[in-house]
Structure 1
């Protein structure tokens, strides 16, 4: 046992906070014994080392918005109800709420195992219903459905390698009035192109809007980037609109200067990604 641990045990024993086993009572103590103030300082350092890691978020976004802690994540996808800020979902279903009998592609995916559906509401009872499917091959995805007539560099780049990918996540988000339709397409973490910028896109073809969905791999205070994806950032024209932290219980940031519908769109996409993580399978199970 290292000297620091010995000193902590001896201090706690003297304070009658813990009963030390006899085998440790005879361990040598460095002289002189730490003064009380230094001992509490050591304890503070130990507690600080246990601080929960947090995702690095764009500074401008953190200055403008308040992080919304997520509740309702249970580790089981079925019957979860996601909540954060003034957003709340209905129970998540392992089925889709819409009928795709007239669409051969989506009708085929209705039988997919890794799919789910839910509706997210805001406090004004605005809502988006999301149908999502995980672990599909790019060759099975009609990219034109997501990209529409857009011809931007980001869309062309995404289309150029989507067909070759073996692992895609896709979701369609419908407003409660059915007047707006957004598509989310994302490269899964085991199939993200290493030398490319884009992990995915959130697109509204009717309004010709596109939002980049970029992976975040860096923790606050860390000097280097990690390899694991710990969250995502939504960016448009070099501005961070929102971010979602996947680690711990999860947190969401949304730019409050955006119009309420756009905030709900980003909240719905964030909830979709939080639930997508619950659905993740080990890479060796992906075919």
Structure 2
């Protein structure tokens, strides 16, 4: 269950969800949009109703959304019988889930996306007695990857987002890249919220609530908010060649957040 939870919440960790739930109303707070997108229109994400697997924002809509079964494997073994004062078990687990969808712009040909989640975890469980136990995560790695193919398969981009956690080193929250071999965008977490009174609020422990897409020169071309119904911002200066793959990457993140 632990691996399943991590694999499904790679982009918006549990700590962020708990912090948002603790607020009196999520309508009173929103993700702080990067300053470079202050003139961009906030595009609300629609289509999220129950188990309905579609998303729409601005001129883009997802179709043909397919999600495979979650595949898991793992093993456990006792450790330290001769040198630990308590019973202990070492656990190793893996999880994988594939998905695909099509992003259809209002004008233009569709873009096709195929990807997968991968999760790997090493844990140690200590049991001082039969009625209590303590679990320690020794190593946790999560990878989210998708291939984004443009019309005629002539334009191919790859989105890769990774997070990791090692005992004693703290957690590195998910971040990654969107690249086509020639162009590279950094996908960076956003951990600041904006209150209704205009004041900013940092999320506990720096957990992310959304992500920004940044060029090598530091210019921000887009951002996506992942909590609530979600919102999307695309820079008014983003090129037509870049707009569709960035939108496809955002749609992929929104769909896999569920």
Query: Would the aligned equivalents of 1:92 and 1:117 in 2 still touch at CA under 8 Å?
Result: yes
1:269 deviates by 0.5
Q: Which has the higher contact order (CA 8 A, sep 6+)?
A: 2
Alignment of 1:36-75 (within 5 A): 50=25, 51-63=27-39, 65-74=40-49
For the structure 1 residues 261 and 224, does the alpha-carbon distance in structure 2 shift closer, same or farther, using more than 3 Å as the test? same
State the partner residue of 1:284. Answer: none
Partners of 1:137 and 1:186 in 2: CA distance: 14
**Structure 1: any 5+ residue segments left out of the alignment?**
1-48, 96-111, 139-163, 279-287
Q: Counting strand residues as a fraction of each chain, which structure ranks higher?
A: 2
User: Which secondary structure state, in structure 2, belongs to the residue aligned with residue 248 of structure 1?
Assistant: coil
State the partner residue of 2:231. Answer: 251
User: Which secondary structure state, in structure 1, belongs to the residue aligned with residue 153 of structure 2?
Assistant: coil
Q: Counting helix residues as a fraction of each chain, which structure ranks higher?
A: 1
**Residue 267 (1) aligns with residue 242 (2):** no
1:79-130 residue CA offsets vs partner (Å, 9 max, x unmatched)? 51210011011031125xxxxxxxxxxxxxxxx7522100101111332111
1:176 deviates by 2.1
Name the TM-score, length of structure 1 as normaliser. Answer: 0.58
State the partner residue of 1:115. Answer: 98
State the partner residue of 1:106. Answer: none
**Residue 204 (1) aligns with residue 187 (2):** no
Larger Rg: 1
RMSD, aligned α-carbons: 2.7
State the partner residue of 1:86. Answer: 59
**Residue 222 (1) aligns with residue 200 (2):** yes
Query: Would the aligned equivalents of 2:145 and 2:160 in 1 still touch at CA under 8 Å?
Result: yes
Partners of 2:140 and 2:219 in 1: CA distance: 28
1:123-164 residue CA offsets vs partner (Å, 9 max, x unmatched)? 1133211111012459xxxxxxxxxxxxxxxxxxxxxxxxx9
1:52 deviates by 3.2
**Structure 2: any 5+ residue segments left out of the alignment?**
1-23, 69-94, 122-138
1:187 deviates by 1.4
Name the TM-score, length of structure 2 as normaliser. Answer: 0.64
State the partner residue of 1:157. Answer: none
User: Which secondary structure state, in structure 1, belongs to the residue aligned with residue 147 of structure 2?
Assistant: strand
1:171 deviates by 0.7
